[in-house]
Amino acid sequence: MKSLIFAISLLLTATAYGQYQGDDVYDPFADYSEFEENSQEEADVHFFRNGRFFNAALMMGGRMFTADTQDYFEANMSPGLYLAYFFNLRFAVQFSYTFSEHAYQIPAGTNNSGAPYPGINGNVSFSAMAFDLKYYFNTQNVTRGLADLNPFILFGFSQNYRTFSVDDQTQVAKDDAAGFDFGAGIEIPIARNQMYVGAQFVYTYVNFPIENRNVTAPDQTLTDKF
């Protein structure tokens, strides 16, 4: 019986204490949405003081190829530029343009029907316009050195264009296709956070219309290598 009374006493005491505390702070006329507004206001002030609204950047990198294409196309420099708009400290949208030119060489061989064809040498130019969403990781709980790297990931879409030319010929061939972009990078602030220097790696998956189809060269039918 003592244990039962003791338990009830604790329950009543806790309830009374909670009621007392509640009566002390409860205001039926209080507008509790003010706390949400204050929290949002603090986030906005923090963004205005520490965030970025726009980024305009020049890019200098390289473009290389995968799968069978890398056997025929040489890697080369790929300059470009981008403009980024920041919604908050974590999300931004990026518009970019890149361009590159590459030499290609297809050795002599035989096509699908067994007919021989000569080797082909030429150049191909690539250009891409991309629309990507960037997400910056929260680095508040890591060491300062890592936080200053501002790591991010990006994903989006791009429209890719390419133009082929063959040595000693005036005709060119053009095609274009949409692609998917996936990438990651870092941005390091310099000049008291007025400028940034960074690096990013982007993989673009694109399937051009003439891939895995036959193309016609003068007096020869070639299995497409592009």
Query: What local confidence, expressed as pLDDT, does residue 37 receive?
Result: 58
70 domain-assigned: yes
Residue spans of alpha helices (H) in the chain: 2-25, 33-50, 144-147
21 domain-assigned: no
**Which pLDDT band holds residue 88 (cuts at 50, 70, 90)?**
confident
Closest CA to 131 of 88, 83, 77, 197: 83
Query: What local confidence, expressed as pLDDT, does residue 148 receive?
Result: 80
The reply to whether the predicted model has a pTM over 0.75 is no
What are residue 103's DSSP bridge partners?
A: 123
Dist. CA 185–CA 189, nearest whole Å: 14
Identity at 199, one-letter amino acid code? A
Please tell me the total count of domains within the chain: 1
96-109 mean pLDDT:
90
Widest distance between CA atoms in the chain: 107
Residue 117's domain comprises 52-223
Greater pLDDT, 219 or 86: 86
Dist. CA 215–CA 221, nearest whole Å: 6
31-41 mean pLDDT:
58
Greater pLDDT, 99 or 224: 99
| Residue located via tokens 């000049």 | 191
22 domain-assigned: no
Dist. CA 219–CA 139, nearest whole Å: 61
**Which pLDDT band holds residue 167 (cuts at 50, 70, 90)?**
confident
Dist. CA 145–CA 151, nearest whole Å: 12
141 domain-assigned: yes
CATH code of the domain covering residue 80 = 2.40.160.20
Dist. CA 156–CA 6, nearest whole Å: 64
Average pLDDT, the chain: 77
176 domain-assigned: yes
44 domain-assigned: no
Query: What local confidence, expressed as pLDDT, does residue 193 receive?
Result: 74
30 domain-assigned: no
123-134 mean pLDDT:
95
Neighbours of 200 (CB within 10 A): 19
Give the Å distances, CA to CA, from 56 to 18, 84, 208. 56, 7, 30
209 domain-assigned: yes
Dist. CA 70–CA 50, nearest whole Å: 43
pLDDT tens digits for range 194-225: 888 999 999 999 988 866 655 554 444 444 44
